[in-house]
Structure 1
Amino acid sequence: MKKFKFAVLLVSLFTSFYNYAQQPPAGSNKVKVTGKVFEKVTKQPLEYATITITAPNDTKVVAGGITNPKGEFEVFVPTGIYDIKIEFISFKATEIKQKSIQDNTDLGIVNLSEDAAQLNEVVIRAEKSTVEIKLDKKVYNVGQDMLVKGGTVSDVLDNVPSVSVDTEGNVSLRGSDNIRILIDGRPSNAINVAEALRQLPADAIDKVEVITNPSARYDAEGGSGIINIVLKKGKNQGFNGTVIASTGLPETYGLSANLNYKTEKLNYFTTAGYNYRTNEGTGKTNSEYFNADGTTKSYLDESRDTKRTRGGFNGRAGVEWTLTPNTFWTNAINFQKNNGEEKDQIDFYNYDNARNFTSSSYRLNNGDTKSQNVEYTSNLIKNFDDKGHKLTVDASISRNTDDNNSLITGTNSFNNTLNNQVQKQALFQADYVLPLGKGSQFEAGYKGSFGDLNNEYYVLDEQGGLISNLSNTLEYKENINALYTQYGFKVNKFSYLFGLRWEDTNIEVNLLDNNDFNTKKYNNLFPSAFISYEISDQSNFSASYSKRLSRPRGRFMNPATNYSSNINIFQGNPDLDPSLTDKYDIGYIKRWSKLTFNTSAYFEDTKDVFSFVRSPTGENVDGIPVILSRPINLGKEQKFGFEFTFNYTPFKWWKVNSNFNFYNVKTTGENSYTDANGIVVTQNLDNKANTWFARINSKVTLPYKIDWQLTGMYNGEQKTAQGKNLGQLGVNTAFSKDILKDKATVAFNVSDIFNSRKMRSYTYLENQTSYNEMQFRKRQFNLSFTYRFNKSKNERDKNAAPKNDGGGEGGGEFPG
Structure 2
Amino acid sequence: MQPKLIFKTTLLLLLLFPLLSFAQRSYKLSGKVVDNSGGIPLEYATITLIDETGEKTNQGGITNFDGEFNFDVTEGTYTIKVEYISFEPKIYKNRHIDKKTNMGTVVLQMSSANLDEVVVTAETTQVDVRLDKKIYNIGKDLTTQGSTISDALNNVPSVNVDVEGGISLRGNENVRILINGKPSAMAGFGSTDVFQQLPADAIERVEVITSPSARYDAEGTAGILNIILKKEKTLGFNGSISANVGYPEQYGLSANLNLRTDKFNIFNTTGVYLRKSPGNAYFNNVYKQSTGIDKIIEDREYDRQYKGIYTNIGMEYFLTESSSITGSFYTRFGDDKDVTENANTQYLTDASQRKNFREEIEKEKDQSYQASLNYTNSFNDEGHKFTADFQYSYDKEKRPTTIEENLVYPTNQLIAKERINEKETQNEFLIQADYVLPMGDAQFEAGYRGNFEKKTTDYLLDTLNLNNNIFELNERLSNTFIYHENVNAIYTQYGNKFGNFSFLAGLRLEHTQLKGDLERFTEDNQSLEEELGVAFKTNFDKNYLGLFPTLNFIYELDENQNISLGYNRRINRPRGWFINPNPSRSSRTNIFQGNPDLDPAYSSTFDLGYLKQWEKLTLTGSVYYQHETDSFERVVMDTGKETSDGQKIIRTMPINLSTEERIGAEFSVIYNPKKWLRLNGSFNIFNFDKEGIYDSVDYSAKSTSWFARFSSKVTLPGSVDWQTNAFYRGPQKNSQTESDGIVSLDLAFSKEIIKNKATLAFNISDVLNSRKRNSTTETATYWQESEFQWRERQFSLSLIYRFNQPKNQRQRGQNNNGGFDDGDGGF
Per the TM superposition, whether the score is higher than 0.5 is: yes
Deviation at 1:68, TM superposition (A): 12
Q: 2:133 aligns with which of 123, 131, 137?
A: 137
Structure 1 residues 633-672: aligned runs within 5 Å? 633-672=656-695
Residue aligning to 1:193:
191
Structure 1 residue 40 displacement after superposition: 6.0
Task: Give the residue type in structure 2 aligned to 1:639.
Answer: R
Cα offsets for 1:180-236 (capped at 9, x unmatched): 100011013425622222232223222211111101110000101000111111221
2:375 equivalent in structure 1: 380
User: Which residue in 2 is equivalent to 1:282?
Assistant: 280
Distance 1:378 1:806, change over 3 A: farther
**What is the CA-CA distance between 1:791 and the residue it aligns to?**
1.2
Q: Is residue 543 of structure 2 the alignment partner of residue 527 of structure 1? A: no
Q: Evaluate the alpha carbon distance shift between residue 549 and residue 683 of structure 1 in structure 2; reply closer, same or farther with a 3 A threshold.
A: same
Distance of 2:259 and 2:42 partners within structure 1: 26
Amino acid at match of 1:666: D
Q: Which moved more, 1:138-147 or 1:200-209?
A: 138-147
Alignment deviations for residues 497-527 of structure 1 (CA, whole Å, 9 cap, x no partner): 1100001112211111167521011110101
Pairing partner for 1:753 from 767, 777, 801: 767
Question: In the alignment, residue 459 of structure 2 is paired with which amino acid?
Answer: Y
Contact preservation (8 Å) 2:516, 2:540? yes
1:341 to 324, 337, 342: 337
SS at match of 2:548: strand
> Tell me, what secondary structure is at the counterpart of 1:144?
coil
Cross-structure match for 1:585 = 607
Q: Which residue of 2 aligns with 1:273?
A: 271
Give the alignment partner of residue 746 of structure 2, picking from 723, 729, 732: 732
Query: How far apart are 1:352 and its partner, in Å?
Result: 2.2
Deviates more, 1:194-203 or 1:209-218: 194-203
Compared CA separation, residues 125 and 323, structure 1 to 2 (3 A): same
Question: CA RMSD, aligned part only?
Answer: 3.0
2:119 and 2:810 in contact (8 A); partners too: no
Deviations 1:615-642 (A, max 9, x none): 1111123333100111011111010001
2:400 to 400, 405, 408: 405
Distance of 2:158 and 2:703 partners within structure 1: 19
Q: 1:393 aligns with which of 388, 393, 396?
A: 388
Task: Give the corresponding residue for 1:105.
Answer: none
**Would you say 1:161 and 2:163 are equivalent positions?**
no
- Determine whether 1:309 maps to 2:323: no
SS of 2:659's equivalent in the other structure is strand
State the alpha-carbon separation in 1 of the partners of residues 43 and 184 from structure 2: 33
Structure (1 or 2) with the larger CA radius of gyration = 2
Deviation at 1:727, TM superposition (A): 0.5
Change (3 A) 1:46 1:333: closer
Is structure 2 residue 632 aligned with structure 1 residue 610?
Answer: yes
Among candidates 417, 421, 439, match of residue 420 of structure 2: 417
Please say if 1:690 is aligned against 2:683. no
1:497 aligns with 2:504: yes
Q: Distance in 2 between matches of 1:594 and 1:94?
A: 25
Return 5+ residue gaps in structure 1 as ranges: 1-36, 50-66, 72-84, 96-108, 673-681, 799-803, 812-816
- Could you tell me which residue of structure 1 aligns to residue 803 of structure 2? 789
Alpha-carbon distance change, 299 to 311 in structure 1, aligned in 2, over 3 angstroms: same
2:826 matched residue in structure 1? 810
Which of 287, 294, 297 is matched with 1:298 structurally? 294
Q: Name the CA shift for 1:374/1:110 in 2 (closer, same or farther; >3 Å).
A: closer
> After alignment, is 727-736 or 505-514 more displaced?
505-514
Q: Secondary structure at the match of 1:704?
A: coil
Deviation, 1:137, is 2.6
Alpha-carbon distance in structure 2 between the residues aligned to 1:730 and 1:131: 23
CA contact (8 A) 1:742 1:793 kept: yes
Tell me which residue corresponds to 2:77: none
3-state SS of paired residue (1:196): helix
Q: Is the 8 A contact 1:404 1:420 kept in 2?
A: yes
Aligned to 2:714: 700
Of 104, 111, 115, which residue of structure 2 is paired with 1:115?
A: 111
Mapped contact 2:126–2:139 kept (Cα < 8 A): no
| One-letter identity of the residue aligned with 1:415 | E
Q: Relative to 1, partners in 2 of residues 1:46 and 1:381: Cα closer, same or farther, differing over 3 Å?
A: closer
Structure 1 residues 88 and 502, CA gap change in structure 2 (3 angstroms): closer
- Partner-residue secondary structure (3-state), 2:194: helix
Larger deviation: 754-763 or 511-520? 511-520
> In structure 2, how many angstroms separate the alpha carbons of the residues matched to 1:216 and 1:90?
36
CA 1:94 to 1:711, structure 2 compared with 1: closer, same or farther past 3 Å? farther
Percent of pairs with identical residues: 41
Contact 1:185/1:807, CA 8 A, preserved across alignment: no
Q: Which residue of 1 aligns with 2:233?
A: 235
Contact 2:726 2:745 (C-alpha < 8 Å) held by counterparts: yes
In 2, distance between residues paired with 1:139 and 1:309? 33
Aligned to 1:428: 431
SS in 2 for 1:186: coil
One-letter code aligned to 2:422: N
- Displacement after TM superposition at 1:467 (Å): 2.2
Residues 471-493 of structure 1: per-residue CA shift (max 9 Å, x gap) = 32110112111000001112222
The secondary structure found in structure 1 opposite 2:325 is strand
User: SS of 1:604's equivalent?
Assistant: strand
Closer, same or farther in 2 for the Cα pair 1:315/1:274, shift >3 Å?
same
Evaluate the alpha carbon distance shift between residue 479 and residue 445 of structure 1 in structure 2; reply closer, same or farther with a 3 A threshold.
Answer: same
User: Cα–Cα, structure 1 residues 805 and 365, in superposed 2: closer, same or farther, change >3 Å?
Assistant: farther
What is the letter of the counterpart of residue 432 of structure 2? Answer: Q
In 1: Cα distance, 2:106 partner to 2:774 partner: 56
SS in 2 for 1:176: coil
Deviation at 1:797, TM superposition (A): 9.2
Contact 2:122/2:811 (8 A) holds in 1: no
Asked if 1 retains the 8 angstrom alpha-carbon contact of 2:121 and 2:811, the reply is no
Q: Does 1:483 align with 2:483?
A: no
Q: Secondary structure at the match of 2:196?
A: helix
**Which whole-Å deviations, capped at 9, do the CAs of 1:768-793 have from their partners, x for residues lacking one?**
11111110100000100000111121
Q: Give CA-to-partner distance per residue, 1:128-179, whole Å, 9 cap, x none.
A: 6323242443333345111111222111211111111112111111111111
Q: Deviations over 1:537-583 (max 9, x none)?
A: 11111111110000000000011211010000011011110000001
Match of 1:151 among 147, 151, 174: 147
What stretches of structure 2 of length at least 5 have no aligned partner?
A: 1-31, 47-61, 68-80, 92-104, 407-414, 465-469, 524-537, 813-819
Matching of residue 370 in structure 1 with residue 365 in structure 2: yes
Is the contact made by 1:211 and 1:227 (CA closer than 8 Å) also made in structure 2? yes
Note if contact 2:497-2:503 (Cα within 8 Å) is conserved in structure 1. Answer: yes
Q: 1:505 to 1:561 in 2, by over 3 A?
A: same
Contact 1:241 1:790 in 2 (8 A): yes
Of 173, 184, 204, which aligns to 1:177? 173
Whether the 8 Å contact between 2:117 and 2:675 is mirrored in structure 1 is no
Q: Among 446, 452, 463, which residue is 1:461 paired with?
A: 463
**1-structure distance, mates of 2:219, 2:45:** 34
2:234 and 2:280 map into 1 onto residues whose CA distance is: 46
SS of the residue aligned with 1:233?
A: coil
Q: Secondary structure at the match of 1:132?
A: strand
Please give the secondary structure, in 1, of the residue aligned with 2:672. strand
SS at match of 1:154: helix
Query: Using the alignment, how far apart are the partners of 1:48 and 1:633 within structure 2?
Result: 50
Q: Equivalents in 2 of 1:332, 1:768: separation in Å?
A: 53
Taking the aligned partners of 1:248 and 1:317, their CA distance within structure 2 comes to 28
Alpha-carbon spacing, 1:194–1:133, altered in 2? closer, same or farther (3 Å): same
Matching residue of 1:509: 516
Give 2:214's aligned residue: 216
Determine whether 1:630 maps to 2:653. yes
TM-score of the pair, normalised by structure 1: 0.83
Write the letter of the residue equivalent to 2:624: Y
Residue of structure 2 equivalent to 1:327: 323
